[in-house]
């Protein structure tokens, strides 16, 4: 932000415009940092101290942030108050998958306040998913409306979503084609609804709050019940491609002798690396990401270990291609891919370390997405918070 933009310079509408813009800048910094001192805000915005104090005061009045006394230990001089996200504004985040629908209440700063997993036992139709979400939200409504204000609903969809109106163009594992899910859910709940691709929202969350927050170039790959999705941050920006569908690393070729994928291709990463054989080997039929990981880590079965290594070998092929194409500083693994890595980290590290093009892989670290099983909830909530973050004065 330039100084000219930041300083109130005009009158009437333009002063108001500058104030609203500055409110958004300050709230954005508090949101992303999850808590920041007033003196840091002054430094980062380039605004003077009294302007920052007034902006924070207005955000406190709107209950979007709260100010707490700084921890005075290890401080020299007068401590600056710490500005934190306030508890009033919440988003409802939803992720439908083939066997369950997860619904969460998320506060500013990416704080997951409540998470409910509703097992469906089968692929829900769009109508079923909307009905289940509406019923769960109805059950929460009393609590939500006494203690919070709901800014809206964010949907993380395992498929291709038209961002303009939240129509799910294709969610192959759910069998949804051209379903106006955002509109249906808005009608059923009375809240505004925004929808996006799950992996892209995971990348956004990881980049805003997680293991990617200090990285400008990374690949994120998430494994869920509905396959493998990905996203790429390149030069600090999300790589979108011409129509917004970049990052479909789950459908890159890893085995030319492999089976046919639902996308029509042969030997895609997500046909070779998938959750269901892992669940079967540890004797689970239905489990969330944490339960599956605990079962994999606890297992001493040779069959489990062999399957984990087989899947990591194919993941290594995909990573070799992606690393040589994108030259990232890190690869972040989420969902069951993070669990595979947790079971045998040395196996995957060795595959990446021994790929032939040394210059590309040098310095690449493999890591786990930091936001764990809350990742998609936080990403979906980011969508719903978009309007408040862009113009807090309208809240």
Binding site for Zn ion (CB under 5 A): 251, 261, 263, 265, 268
Task: Give the whole-angstrom CA distance, residue 97 versus residue 119.
Answer: 9
Closest approach, Cβ 267 to Zn ion, in A, equals 9
Closest to Zn ion by CB, 180 vs 265, is 265
Nearest approach, Cβ of 223 to Zn ion (angstroms)? 14
Q: Which is nearer to Zn ion, 196 or 229 (CB)?
A: 229
Residue 172's alpha-carbon distances to 43, 122, 125, 273, 359, in angstroms, are 48, 14, 12, 17, 37
Quote the least distance from Cβ 270 to Zn ion, whole Å: 6
Nearer to Zn ion, 74 or 257 (CB): 257
17 versus 262: smaller Cβ distance to Zn ion: 262
Contact in structure between 111 and 88 (CB atoms under 8 Å): no
Which of 38/251 has CB closer to Zn ion?
A: 251
CB of 292 to Zn ion, least distance (A): 22
- Give the nearer residue to Zn ion in terms of CB position, either 265 or 386: 265
Smallest separation (angstroms) from Zn ion to the CB of 255: 11
| 110 versus 227: smaller Cβ distance to Zn ion | 227
CB of 227 to Zn ion, least distance (A): 8
Shortest distance in whole angstroms from residue 266 CB to Zn ion: 8
Task: Kindly tell me which of 265 and 372 has the beta carbon lying closer to Zn ion.
Answer: 265
CB of 159 to Zn ion, least distance (A): 13
CA-CA distances (angstroms) from residue 187 to 133, 167, 191, 193?
12, 14, 8, 9
CA 102 to chain centre: 14
- The residues pairing with 90 across neighbouring beta strands, listed in sequence order, are 107, 150
């Amino acid at each position: 932000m330039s100084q000219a933009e930041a300083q109130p310079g005009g009158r009437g509408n333009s002063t108001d415009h500058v104030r609203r813009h500055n409110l958004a800048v300050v709230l954005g910094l508090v949101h992303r940092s999850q808590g920041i001192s007033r003196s840091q805000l002054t430094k980062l915005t380039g605004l003077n101290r009294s302007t920052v104090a007034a902006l924070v005061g207005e955000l406190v009045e709107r209950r979007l942030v709260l100010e707490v006394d700084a921890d005075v230990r290890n401080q020299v001089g007068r401590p600056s108050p710490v500005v934190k996200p306030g508890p009033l504004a919440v988003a409802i985040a939803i992720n439908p998958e083939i066997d369950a629908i997860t619904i969460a209440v998320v506060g500013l700063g990416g704080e997951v306040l409540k998470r409910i997993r509703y097992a469906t036992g089968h692929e829900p139709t769009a109508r079923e998913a909307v009905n289940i979400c509406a019923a769960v939200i109805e059950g929460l409504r009393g609590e939500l409306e006494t203690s919070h204000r709901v800014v809206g609903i964010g949907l993380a969809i395992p498929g291709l979503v038209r961002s303009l109106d939240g129509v799910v163009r294709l969610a192959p594992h759910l069998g949804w084609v051209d379903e106006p899910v955002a509109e249906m859910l808005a009608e059923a709940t009375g809240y505004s609804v925004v929808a996006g691709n799950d992996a892209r929202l995971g990348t956004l969350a990881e980049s805003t709050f997680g293991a990617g927050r200090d990285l400008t170039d990374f690949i994120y790959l998430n494994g869920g019940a509905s396959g493998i999705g990905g996203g790429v941050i390149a030069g600090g920006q999300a790589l979108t491609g011409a129509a917004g569908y970049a990052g479909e690393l789950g459908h890159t070729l890893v085995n030319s002798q492999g089976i046919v994928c639902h996308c029509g291709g042969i030997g895609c990463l997500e046909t070779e690396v998938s959750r269901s054989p892992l669940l079967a080997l540890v004797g689970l039929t239905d489990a969330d990401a944490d339960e599956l990981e605990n079962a994999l880590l606890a297992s001493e079965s040779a069959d489990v270990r062999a399957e984990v290594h087989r899947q990591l070998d194919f993941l290594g092929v995909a990573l070799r291609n992606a690393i040589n194409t994108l030259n990232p500083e890190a690869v972040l693994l989420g969902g069951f891919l993070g669990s595979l890595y947790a079971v045998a980290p040395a196996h995957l590290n060795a595959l990446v370390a021994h790929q032939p093009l040394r210059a590309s892989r040098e310095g690449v670290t493999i890591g786990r997405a930091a936001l764990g099983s809350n990742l998609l909830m936080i990403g979906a909530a980011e969508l719903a918070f978009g309007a408040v973050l862009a113009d807090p004065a309208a809240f």
